Structure 1
Amino acid sequence: MLFIIAFAVLISFNSIYSLDNGLGKTPQMGWNSWNHFGCSINETIIHATADALIATGLAQAGYTYVNVDDCWASSRDQTTNYIIPDPIGFPSGMASLADYVHSRGLLFGLYSDAGIETCAGRPGSYGYEDIDAQIYAQWKVDYLKYDNCYAGPTNKTIKERYERMRDALNRTGRPIFYSACEWGEMLPAIWFRAIANSWRTTSDISDHWISMLLNIDINDLFANFAAPHGFNDPDMLEVGNGGMTSTEYRTHMSLWSIAKAPLLIGCDVRQLSQETLEILTNSEVIAVNQDSLGIQGQKIRIDLEHDTEVWAGPLADGSKAVLAFNRAHIINQTISVSFPDLGWKSTSRVKVRDLWLHQDLGEFQGNYTAFNIESHGAQLLKMTLITL
């Protein structure tokens, strides 16, 4: 009898102190305002962005969250402590903005912080978690990005501060995707699974090749902690912001896809080049990211002499997603993928498909060689076992 009581208490404890929203079976896809606009946001931009996601086909490709980052809030009501949207940028209020986004068939996200202020100095949610969560639910918010600035005066651990908002969100009864932006400081991948749907493993990305590589390399260290309903987050996509070449942006998209990273567009989708649109909407590349198995692909071979890598991860249909990646400057290179590295035999015959070219490359035995991969380029492949 004591065992049954103890077991019941344990079940009750776990149901209270765990994330309970059913969201994030695959990595989230959408758009976030920060990388391109920073604090220069307003409801007109958000309206136009929602419209552009529809008009460009991005929404149909899977980018459904429209997320307003920092700087949307101004203060708190001195009587109710309710958060007050910035009256200049968002005069119609956030409930009205959420209604507009929803009317376009999309989902609406907001930003807050686990400290006393946001990173831009707007009101944080520490000490107001239930109040804020309830007002988000009333506004029909679908997504919360929760940052980690100005936490010093709280005297609470990072874990405790993020748990407080998790529990407040659970109490609203509204499923709200919980994106924890802790910057990877306390190795959140190891212990965040019961707290959030995704967790930042890195500091903020910038629109530069080295920044992008640093973030995905750090993120790769925690590959074994990702699974459906909880994914590692090396930060948002910079594709289309202009700081990298088209080749580098395709590599960026390939790495985020095979790593099961959130695909959150960070450029101005109202003014997309055709090339950027094609990178962001490649259905076969997106399918790798959104594969139902939800296992993060990772580095399986590193060639330090030539500065090349092979990444791989399993897919739900039994095939493998494989990335042949040339990190080197200047020179084009040949990269060999050994089938035993993928868990197959040296005698195995494998069908290989190039996901960027949408082209079957043929059947190969023992290994596949990617020829002439340009500097900073990558070939994203789907490999399917034909015979052992």
Structure 2
Amino acid sequence: MWASAVLLVLLGSFGANALDNGLARTPPMGWLAWERFRCNVNCTADPKNCVSEKLFMEMADRLVEDGYKDAGYEYVNIDDCWMAKQRDANNKLYADPERFPSGIKGLADYMHKKGLKLGIYLDYGTKTCGGYPGSLDYLELDAKTIADWGVDMLKMDGCYADVKTMKTGYPQMTKYLNATGRPILFSCSWPDYERGAGIPINYTLVAENCNIWRNYVDIQDSWQSVLSIIDYYAKEQDTLVPVAGPGNFNDPDMLIIGDFSLSVEQAKAQMAMWAILAAPLLMSNDLRTITPEYRDILLNKDVIAISQDNAGIMGKRVLQHHANGIEAWTRPLSNGVFSIVFFSRSVKEPEFVTVVMKALAVSSDTSYEVTDVYAQKSMGVFKPTDSITVYVNPNGVVMLKATPQKVWKVENNMIVLN
């Protein structure tokens, strides 16, 4: 089922006007301004935290110098409120000249010299959510403009728009992005607006036209917000899993690790769950002041390797234990490997959980070497009929990697590797 679902998405991507940029073969990684810095444009009162080229250059510096770029984080994404309040005499968008004196082209050049990529924000409606010029009636012009600037990723929001027209409007933008000849990763907010308006979502059409897409409400800086997103993905997993695959990923929104609200255990939980969901890893935090324990979570190479598995299959919830608030999620990886997350909603105390391996949706009859990803230790070898016990902290996770064992057998009087 998993393989056929991915194949369906890949075959669908070759439609006449489908997105054709070769990007997001694994979930994109980077940094995005919105959750932490919002629409702070007061550079006089708050020069350190306002939406300005200085902010994005400083975050780019931190990505490179603090190891994030080497770990895979490559996009630096501008969100809303970067524009001047009006288009120019030729109806082109341009950046606020006081906050972005180098212009977006200059900022893109800065990123590219560092081996990074620049993302930008537009809105499908008449205005952006922050009240800046929208792209309605200017889709083709805006696509050409951002391509000329050297932009590498586009997030297109949907405020001040007729949601009923998005099934035609977003694919129009896809066509215009294709026509620029520049590979621009396309992040769509379209499904979230249709969900909010009660309009049925055609995920085949979404996956043909977008590299990543938002399905649910904006994340906020709270554990409750993280939980609500995980709940939505669990509820809708039978719809969302089949459309995810290389080039096309569901986006549960930004990582808030290192901001104000998450404990270390909750931060580890968000990182693990986003990896299981094959979600984009787009941090929204202040990399200039983040403390080491949160930086270490974001740079955990073993969790990132699971996130970036090239099969691109989205994981799903396979067990739910209401009594102790713990559930299990499983994601099939390449070469018969599985990743498993035991995820706790308990606020009281750590819990022991014992589960038979085959209940975790591992699909082979072979034995598995199981390692604890965060603890970086082997838990032993387990057959599908064996039970495994984990100890899960409140609001925390235990993340496992189950690797099928190579087995020697006798075949035609010879010992061979199965």
TM-score normalised to structure 2 length: 0.85
Residues 263-315 of structure 1, C-alpha deviation per residue, up to 9 Å, x if partnerless? Answer: 00100111121011100000000011100010001101111222211100111
2:391 and 2:88 map into 1 onto residues whose CA distance is 64
Give the structure 2 partner of residue 172 of structure 1: 180
Residue 141 of structure 2 corresponds to residue 123 of structure 1: no
Structure 1 pair 299/379, CA: closer, same or farther in 2 (3 Å)? same
Query: Which AA in structure 1 matches 2:244?
Result: A
Give the structure 2 partner of residue 35 of structure 1: 35
Asked if the contact 1:334–1:369 (Cα under 8 Å) also holds between the matched residues in 2, the reply is: no
Query: Which AA in structure 2 matches 1:312?
Result: T
Residues 119-145 of structure 1, C-alpha deviation per residue, up to 9 Å, x if partnerless? Answer: 000111111011111011110000000
Asked if the contact 2:391–2:398 (Cα under 8 Å) also holds between the matched residues in 1, the reply is: no
* Higher mean displacement: 238-247 or 360-369: 360-369
1:189 and 1:111 map into 2 onto residues whose CA distance is 22
Residue 208 of structure 2 corresponds to residue 198 of structure 1: no
Query: How many angstroms does 1:215 deviate by?
Result: 0.9
Give the structure 2 partner of residue 336 of structure 1: 354
1:74 and 1:345 map into 2 onto residues whose CA distance is 54
**Secondary structure of the equivalent of 1:383?**
strand
Match of 2:115 among 95, 98, 105: 105
Asked if the contact 2:83–2:132 (Cα under 8 Å) also holds between the matched residues in 1, the reply is: yes
Query: How many angstroms does 1:373 deviate by?
Result: 1.0
Residue 397 of structure 2 corresponds to residue 378 of structure 1: yes
In the alignment, structure 1 segments of 5+ residues that lack a partner are: 1-10
Query: Which AA in structure 1 matches 2:395?
Result: H
Give the structure 2 partner of residue 216 of structure 1: 230
Query: Which AA in structure 2 matches 1:175?
Result: P
Matches within 5 A, 1:6-21: 15-21=15-21
Give the structure 1 partner of residue 324 of structure 2: 306
In the alignment, structure 2 segments of 5+ residues that lack a partner are: 1-10, 41-50, 408-418
Query: How many angstroms does 1:363 deviate by?
Result: 1.5
Match of 2:168 among 120, 135, 160: 160
Matches within 5 A, 1:1-388: 15-40=15-40, 41-152=51-162, 157-182=165-190, 183=192, 185=195, 186=199, 187=201, 189-220=203-234, 221=236, 222-343=240-361, 349-365=367-383, 366-386=385-405
Query: How many angstroms does 1:157 deviate by?
Result: 1.5
Structure 1 pair 282/172, CA: closer, same or farther in 2 (3 Å)? same
2:113 and 2:292 map into 1 onto residues whose CA distance is 27
* Higher mean displacement: 289-298 or 327-336: 327-336
Query: Which AA in structure 2 matches 1:371?
Result: V
Asked if the contact 2:370–2:400 (Cα under 8 Å) also holds between the matched residues in 1, the reply is: yes
1:378 and 1:328 map into 2 onto residues whose CA distance is 11
* Higher mean displacement: 62-71 or 215-224: 215-224
The percent of aligned pairs where both chains have the same amino acid is 37
Asked if the contact 1:310–1:337 (Cα under 8 Å) also holds between the matched residues in 2, the reply is: no
Query: Which AA in structure 2 matches 1:174?
Result: R
Asked if the contact 1:223–1:298 (Cα under 8 Å) also holds between the matched residues in 2, the reply is: yes
Residues 21-50 of structure 1, C-alpha deviation per residue, up to 9 Å, x if partnerless? Answer: 111111110000111111221011111110
2:352 and 2:403 map into 1 onto residues whose CA distance is 21
2:186 and 2:363 map into 1 onto residues whose CA distance is 42
1:247 and 1:171 map into 2 onto residues whose CA distance is 45
1:381 and 1:81 map into 2 onto residues whose CA distance is 53
Query: Which AA in structure 2 matches 1:302?
Result: Q
Structure 1 pair 345/77, CA: closer, same or farther in 2 (3 Å)? closer
Structure 1 pair 104/345, CA: closer, same or farther in 2 (3 Å)? closer
Query: How many angstroms does 1:74 deviate by?
Result: 1.4
Residues 167-197 of structure 1, C-alpha deviation per residue, up to 9 Å, x if partnerless? Answer: 1101101010000023262446453111100
1:308 and 1:314 map into 2 onto residues whose CA distance is 20
Structure 1 pair 229/60, CA: closer, same or farther in 2 (3 Å)? same
Query: How many angstroms does 1:15 deviate by?
Result: 4.5
Query: Which AA in structure 1 matches 2:81?
Result: C
Residues 220-272 of structure 1, C-alpha deviation per residue, up to 9 Å, x if partnerless? Answer: 42222211110001111111112111100100000001110100010011112
Query: How many angstroms does 1:367 deviate by?
Result: 3.5
Query: Which AA in structure 1 matches 2:182?
Result: R
Structure 1 pair 69/156, CA: closer, same or farther in 2 (3 Å)? same
1:198 and 1:345 map into 2 onto residues whose CA distance is 28
1:89 and 1:283 map into 2 onto residues whose CA distance is 35
Query: Which AA in structure 2 matches 1:242?
Result: F
* RMSD of aligned alpha carbons: 2.0
**Secondary structure of the equivalent of 1:269?**
coil
2:365 and 2:17 map into 1 onto residues whose CA distance is 50
**Secondary structure of the equivalent of 1:337?**
strand
Asked if the contact 1:260–1:295 (Cα under 8 Å) also holds between the matched residues in 2, the reply is: yes
TM-score normalised to structure 1 length: 0.92
Q: 4+ runs of 1 displaced by more than 6 Å?
A: none
Query: Which AA in structure 1 matches 2:17?
Result: Y
